[in-house]
Amino acid sequence: MSARGQYASAFSCRCRPPKDDDYESAMKQLLADLSSQGIETLAFFSSYGDGAYHYIFFSDKPLHVRTLRGFGRTRDVAVTRLEVR
């Protein structure tokens, strides 16, 4: 990772239907909370059909993304290597 944003975390959440609108609202608040702490969103993508949302966050200091309870399984894993091909 570069000198800026030297810590990164991959965050995945699988939202159970029909809670999509509630999830989006909770996630917007989480993203605002993270941004206020200097943690930025590097990437976002979703998998159509299975309800999975994936984010990559980065920061100048170690980070941990809190779990969004009540929406399904959440996983937060440190990114140790990023390779672009």
What is the pLDDT confidence band of residue 1, given thresholds at 50, 70 and 90? very low
How do residues 18-70 score in pLDDT, each as one tens digit?
777 888 899 999 999 999 999 999 888 887 777 788 899 999 998 888 888 88
Residue 5: Cβ within 10 Å count:
15
Task: Report the top-level CATH class of 7-79.
Answer: alpha beta
Can you read off the two tokens belonging to residue 42? 């590097």
| Confidence (pTM) | 0.77
pLDDT band at 5 (very low <50, low <70, confident <90, very high): low
> Can you give the residue ranges of every domain in the chain?
7-79
What SS3 string covers the chain?
A: CCCCCCEEEEEEEECCCCCHHHHHHHHHHHHHHHHHCCCEEEEEEEECCCCEEEEEEEECCCCCCCCCCCCCCEEEEEECCCCCC
